[in-house]
Structure 1
Amino acid sequence: MSTHRPPTLAPAGQPSWRRRRLDPDHSLGLRLTLAATAAFLVLVPFALLTLLVLGAWAPLHRLDTAVTHALHGYALDHPAWVTLMRIWTEVFAPMPLRAVALVLVIWLLRRGARRLALWATTTMVVGGLIGPLLKLLVGRDRPELLDPVARAAGYSFPSGHASNATLAAGVLLLVFLPFARRGAARAALWAAALLITVLTGLSRVALGVHFASDVLGGWLLAVAVLAATTAAFTSWRAHTGLRPVRPTRDGVAPEVERHPGSA
């Protein structure tokens, strides 16, 4: 008569999956877990905002309407402001920013930084595809104004200008941080990235073609994509034996500045 031994969940002495994920000695698993958690935490407010938009939550609608009408009234009284916003929104539109990203990718490939070029491409492509898909799924109409100063086609949530500006600014920032060795240069890079991100989003609301929540949704979506692709890339490079990095301080591939072929 044969006896059946109960199956074991893990070999004796082998730490559980949960402990391996949180064990500092298993640095790759820990970084993956923390990075995935960070990306999830960014997606939570985006998902909540999306649900509020889909449900036409009255307080959000009132806030969006108040901001839109206030900025629209200012635009009607200040034609120079409208001209500035139109120029900015065209210069930092999705297509010009994608062209800049393409130039960056070509430059990285010429330096032999193939993995870094793949990360930049993946970040821009994934973010660029998710945004339009969500626009179709949410189907939110753009603001309707009696005397518009600008027009835009398509649905409204999330803002494509805001998300693509955030993606491009984030990619450029994380690629070029290793080249900025001094504090002033790093501060300038961060300031430029924030300026592009914030002012591009503001321009869409100022021109009356997006609600404020559309822009916020675009920012949150882009940050979530950046967090996810950066987590994957930094874990990948650590798995190949390269030293761990803090992307917001070191960039995603510090070795690109001295040894581009290893990035």
Structure 2
Amino acid sequence: MSSSGPRTSVSPSGRSWRNRRLDPDRSLGLRLTLASAAAFLVLVPFALLAVLVVGAWPPLHDLDAAVTDSLHRFAADHPVWVRVMKVWTHLASPGPLRVAALVVVVWLWRRGARRLALWVVTTMVVGGALGAVLKLLVGRDRPELLDPVARAAGYSFPSGHALNATLAAGVLLLVFLPFTRGRPAARVALWTAAVLLVGVTCLSRVALGVHWASDVLAGCLLGVAVVAATAAAFRTWRERVGLPAGRATVDGVAPELTDPHA
């Protein structure tokens, strides 16, 4: 007569935190873990850049100075270019972008997508607040040019214009991507608009001599990290209440937004 010992099983609640977070059968934990990791990985180069700026690393300073000097010489010889850059930098400044975000919030609220509207507000507010705090902590001075074509007040790192343009571009993409489903041309146009918003805004700040190139790069990195983090939190809530979730960069954060009765 043979006997076997009692079988033991490990309940999901008894598994390690690491195993639960990486379990493909527990999609909520896996998605949140991957999104959090992505946000962290974006913050790593931002943190490294901040350390190099605070430490006044000579190669970074020399590169910033070379880019600024080159663009300033071009601007000094091309007044029309300066006027175009000034118009763009005013239109894409934090104030107008926040007003545009508020318009989107009101539209979403009236459409019944109130949690999505709150996500937009949270993304813009958290990102803007982080940028303001980091400017004070780093305390980097703006470029000092002998014959400046533009002036700006306050500290330089990270660029508030680049940060808010990235936040606005992220909101633009993740809110309106559902409306491009099955429309490749519209999807390309939306992505192009988002990239141009960020790219030209960054260029304008350096071209006008009011920011170093590393300032605008830092603003973009911080903006991407904030959008990734808030989008991850929003998608986590959606999964908990049983709402559909697709790929954020393809379907946006609310794929059902195209159905006003959803």
Shorter-chain TM band: over 0.9
> Which amino acid is 1:115 matched to?
R
Aligned equivalents of 1:141 and 1:86: distance in 2? 21
2:231 maps to 230
> Which amino acid is 1:258 matched to?
D
1:3 maps to none
1:38 paired with 2:38, answer yes
Equivalent residue runs for 1:107-146 within 5 Å = 107-146=107-146
1:150 maps to 150
Residue in structure 1 matching 2:11, options 10, 13, 18: 13
Aligned equivalents of 2:32 and 2:57: distance in 1? 35
8 Å CA contact retained: 2:35, 2:229: yes
Aligned equivalents of 1:18 and 1:94: distance in 2? 40
3-state SS of paired residue (1:177): helix
8 Å CA contact retained: 1:119, 1:233: yes
1:82 maps to 82
Q: Which is further off, 168-177 or 205-214?
A: 168-177
Instruction: Tell me how far 1:244 sits from its aligned partner.
Output: 2.2
Aligned equivalents of 1:244 and 1:188: distance in 2? 23
Q: Deviations over 1:59-81 (max 9, x none)?
A: 00000000000000000011110
Identity of aligned residues (%): 71
Q: Please give the TM-score of this superposition, normalised by the length of structure 1.
A: 0.94
Aligned equivalents of 1:255 and 1:128: distance in 2? 28
Large movers: runs of 4+ above 2 Å: 11-16
Equivalent residue runs for 1:1-263 within 5 Å = 12-14=10-12, 15-181=15-181, 182-259=183-260, 262=262
3-state SS of paired residue (1:248): helix
Q: Which runs of 5+ in 1 are unaligned?
A: 1-10
> Which amino acid is 2:37 matched to?
T
Q: Deviations over 1:73-101 (max 9, x none)?
A: 00001111000000000011000000000
8 Å CA contact retained: 1:162, 1:219: yes
Aligned equivalents of 1:16 and 1:157: distance in 2? 40
Aligned equivalents of 1:53 and 1:231: distance in 2? 29
Instruction: Tell me how far 1:30 sits from its aligned partner.
Output: 0.2
Aligned equivalents of 1:13 and 1:196: distance in 2? 50
The aligned length equals 251
> Which amino acid is 1:91 matched to?
L
Aligned equivalents of 1:21 and 1:244: distance in 2? 18
Aligned equivalents of 1:118 and 1:159: distance in 2? 25
Instruction: Tell me how far 1:225 sits from its aligned partner.
Output: 0.2
3-state SS of paired residue (2:56): coil
Instruction: Tell me how far 1:13 sits from its aligned partner.
Output: 3.2
> Which amino acid is 1:257 matched to?
T
Aligned equivalents of 2:62 and 2:122: distance in 1? 37
8 Å CA contact retained: 1:180, 1:186: yes
Aligned equivalents of 2:30 and 2:162: distance in 1? 32
Instruction: Tell me how far 1:19 sits from its aligned partner.
Output: 1.1
8 Å CA contact retained: 1:234, 1:245: no
How well do the aligned residues superpose, as a CA RMSD in angstroms?
1.0
3-state SS of paired residue (1:147): coil
Instruction: Tell me how far 1:256 sits from its aligned partner.
Output: 1.1
